[in-house]
Structure formats: structure tokens, C-alpha cells
Chain A
Amino acid sequence: MKIAAQEKGKTRRARHSEQVILFAVANRMFAIAAAAVQEIRSTDSLAVSANEIDHSEILKVRHTLERSHQTYYVVNAGAHFGLPVTRPTLVLILRRLRVAVLVDRIERMAEIVSIHALPLAFAGEERRWYRGLTYIDDHVIPVIQPSGFLTTDEFRCLDRATNAIAAPHLAGAFQA
């Protein structure tokens, strides 16, 4: 009976808690659900497989990554959040989205039990950027909305740009 009660308690806690990765960009801390991140790599290890992309409208994306026959757009988190320029050392490759995010460093993992809704006072782009706010060790930390890194329109723009770059190579291949 005692064991069963403990297990029940554990289950209840697990249901309400969420594992997050705390990462830093320009000395600002953010949280992202661990389940939303597929892989964390160093920028050095991806330097060979990254391709440059020049898109004047979407300055936060400068590179693409090819993974599993899909093009991932590499978003500079500092540029995305309007923070000072830094030297990112890590890339978070997101799950279920063709997005990889450049960040400065990973602080640690944490378990959060609640996410507070973003106050209505915040009415700008942050409503798309964040799922809400969490309170960890006396710090209020925004919890990232993974789909907020790139809008559908931005994806469309970037897809057009990458297709335009790929097209001349294809034309050359057919001619040969």
C-alpha cells in the first residue's frame, strides 16, 4: 500500500512537470522544452555541413543545414530577440521544425512545474516568441515557443531563396 501511494504521487508529479533546457544568449537566460530539442551540437562541428544563405529581409538567418534530406534554417537567437551581437558556440537543432538555433551556452537542465501566462501588458512579437514565463531559483525566465523562431511567411521567403540558389546548379547538371 505504501509503495503504491508513492508511485501514485510520482505519477502525478511527472504529469505536471516539464524538463527544460536553460540556455543563454547575450547573458540573457531562456528556457526551452527539452522535448522540443532534437540535438545540441557545437558550431565548430557543423561548420563543414552549413551553407551560407544571403537573405536581406531575414537577417537572423545566415546559414542552412542539410539533415535527413531536409533544409534546416539556422536562426541566430541574439538577432531574433534583438540582443547585442555575441559569438554563439552551440546549435540547438529543433524537433518537428526545420529550425536550428544559435545560442551562446547551455546553463543546465531544470524541471518546471508551472508556466505563467505572459501578462497581457506584453503585446508585441514576444507573444509569438514565448509560451509564457517560469520562475526558477528567484529568476523569471521566458519559456520559448519553438514555432516562434520563424513565421510561415519567413519559411516561405527562405524556401524561395534557397530554391533560387539551388536552381542554377540543377540547370548546370541537366545541361551536362
Chain B
Amino acid sequence: MIAEIQSAGANTYVLLQLASRRFALRSAIVSELAPPVRLHTFPHTSPLVSGVIVRRGRIVPVYDVASILLGRSSSVHRFYLIARRNFPGGPEASAIPVSGECELVTAELQEASDSSRPCISGQLLIGDESIEVLNFDALLTSDPAVHNASRRAEAQS
């Protein structure tokens, strides 16, 4: 998959599975799909970070994005999708647990139906399915507590 991603063009996306839902990430920021190696945890206060994995001699932080995208932590995952998160000090490899195999697709980015969520940069229409494209940097800076509170408010209204 790494070779496929590296040769992919601008309109290519990696489709990832989180529980029963699919999301897309720009392939340009994805580096690999890693096996479910051991998650190492230690005390910290950073929301969304669930621990670290060791991949190719590097320590890679793991983000529990399911708590933002699905409103609950995903207990079952089969792989880690490793993508690049940008920081002012430079990019950093970052892992997100995914539930199934990932797929590389080429499609036109459509405007997002809900512009109020900064972590969604648009959507892809693939067959009958509309798949949200994630803004990886915005997603990883989301605060799960704030996000879930707004989800609850939306559900009640």
C-alpha cells in the first residue's frame, strides 16, 4: 500500500473504516497502514492521545479519533493508519486506529454538507455513498469533551 500511496495523484484519498463508518484522508499525508502493534500508555494530560506505538524505531503517538467522529472510543481495531500531522515545529507521524482494511480511491472533492465541523474538509461521492474527507490537523486538535457536548446539544435540539 505504501508504494501505491506514494505514486498517487492529487485527487487520491485513502478510505478508512471506523466501526461501521467510512471516512477519507488525502493520500498525500498518509504514510502506511501498520499492523496492530502494542499500544504503550503512560500518564499525560493531552486530550485525544491514547498512547504511543513503536514503528520502524520511531515512537508514534496514537489518537483516539473515534471519540470525535463516532462519539465513543473504538474498542476494536485491526490496524493503525499512520499519517502526517503538521506542527509549527514540523510534521510528526501520527497514528489512528482503524477497524478494517483501507482503500485507495481517486475522486473529486465535493463541498461538505455540514460546514460547521472544521475537522471535515469536504466529501467524496463514491457510488451511492457519501464519504466525509477529514482535515487531519483540525481533527487532531479537536477537544473530545467540547465536541461531544456539541453533539449532545445537536441531538437534543
Contact = CB atoms under 8 A, between A and B. Distances in A.
A87 interface: no
Interface of A: 28, 30, 81-83, 116, 119-126, 129, 133, 135, 138-142
A124 B85 CA distance: 17
Contacts of B140: 121
Contact of B38 (A122, A124, A129, A138): A138
B87 A122 contact: no
A141 B42 CA distance: 7
A125 B49 contact: no
Given A81-B43, A126-B46, A138-B38, 14 more contacts: A28-B43, A82-B43, A116-B59, A119-B52, A119-B59, A119-B92, A121-B49, A121-B92, A123-B46, A125-B45, A133-B52, A133-B59, A140-B40, A142-B42
Nearest to A126: B44
Nearest to A139: B40
Give the dominant DSSP class at B's interface: strand
Contacts of B127: none
A141 B40 CA distance: 8
A46 B73 CA distance: 44
29 contacts: A28-B43, A30-B42, A81-B43, A83-B43, A116-B58, A119-B60, A119-B92, A120-B87, A120-B89, A120-B92, A121-B46, A121-B49, A121-B61, A121-B63, A121-B85, A122-B46, A123-B46, A124-B44, A124-B46, A125-B45, A126-B43, A133-B52, A133-B59, A135-B59, A140-B40, A140-B42, A140-B54, A140-B59, A142-B43
